[in-house]
Structure 1
């Protein structure tokens, strides 16, 4: 059957259909376009993003040593430093300790003693060298005319007691060493006395107190004298004569460098 449309009319209608988007051949069965999945790139990306779980935010891992350095450097006074150490939360020892053991004695003294770590008595009272070892230390200082009340300033390598009084681990010492160095800078003593192996290892990077004791050296720009720890002398009373010799040497240095 011939179409009633002439060629030009039929072509115009076809171009109009193409302009409307009717460019596919008619199928034998109708197609429900609303039931088809939209697979356009933008819709596919949106669907994939909605289906995927959000990526959790992972905070960057803190660097305890870098944070300790920054906090120590920012401390302008000894009180600032005490507060900074109290706010430092990266050392696990803090969780098991009763008190922060910061210092004892007279700030500004010519002599600064650096012990190892608090024991039970120090942890309870919040001061270094207050047990039997502290009592012996007081007698040793008194023998050469010094005292923590008037002429000696005292601190420890670590401000918190290790469990069961174990030796501090190297990572614990390294983490807190910036605070100790800043402590020495702010206290500004003329001379350091390093009491025991842990103190020598932390400050000098050397162990072997039986070889180091009595040998003058330098630490952080200051004269330093390693000595036996009083707790060691309580266990080895025969070594007290060597400690007495070191005390006399310290007293002579103070006399010669007034």
Structure 2
């Protein structure tokens, strides 16, 4: 623990034999905190996708079966007809709620590949931090009936720029001095470290891009929530073919 934050280090010790009275030690210490966090975020994202897939698969047959039961036996059942109707309606309604919950996390990506030079590990960490912030902004909304959190991911090309937007319908960003949220140790959350957006900003700028903090667009829940926009320089497909495959990533992938 350093300054209230947990760091992870990889420590290697090599012993070099000398004389009988002397022995040398070479100690190598690597800070792998970012690597561990990126691996953890990637693992959780993969788990979330798999869970969403496994949840959504049986929803359609469940709903169709419930509706078929209602059509087939609704006119036959005379005793406890009210209970029958309530049970079928509960099944259909709950299945719909689960489906909407799974669909609340969606994405809109460009139909054509977006090319650029990227460090996939660092960008994975950046995107993970932004999505984590969006989910926490949604969790901060309490006491509202019929509220459903929604995170929208968009990626597209505008001339010579690649645009990635993460939009949520959470509590939104402060109106004053919001750009200061990109500075280290600036946060609006009680338990926030103030490092998430600062790290993302550094990663984006290291890729030759910049970040923008906006309110959600008007056509997204009437402008409720926030939109984090990350802008990167685009690269032509020909340049990608010539580039080193180890340092070039296709954004859509």
Larger proportion of helix: 1
TM class by shorter chain equals under 0.3
